[in-house]
Amino acid sequence: MQSIKLLGNSKRIIKECKETLILVLINFLLRWVLKILKLEQVRVNFVGSIDPT
């Protein structure tokens, strides 16, 4: 009985860990994308300021 309870607990913990990992990954990817977009924006602004046309 005790081992079944432990198994259930570990399954729940694994599920929670997976959800947390997914959230962390999404957060990381969003930050990364935003960083790239910012760099692109800066590059465009930089080129725009140099190019008089």
Q: Which domain holds residue 4?
A: 1-53
| Residue predicted with more confidence, 36 or 53 | 36
pLDDT of 50 strictly over 70:
no
| pLDDT value of position 26 | 95
CA dihedral 32, 34, 40, 43 (to 10 degrees): -100
| pLDDT value of position 41 | 78
| pLDDT value of position 19 | 94
Rounded CA gap, 53 and 50, in Å? 9
Would you give the DSSP letter of residue 51?
A: -
How many structural domains comprise the chain? Answer: 1
Q: Residues 4-44: pLDDT tens digits?
A: 788 888 899 899 999 999 999 999 999 999 998 888 877 77
Q: pTM value? A: 0.55
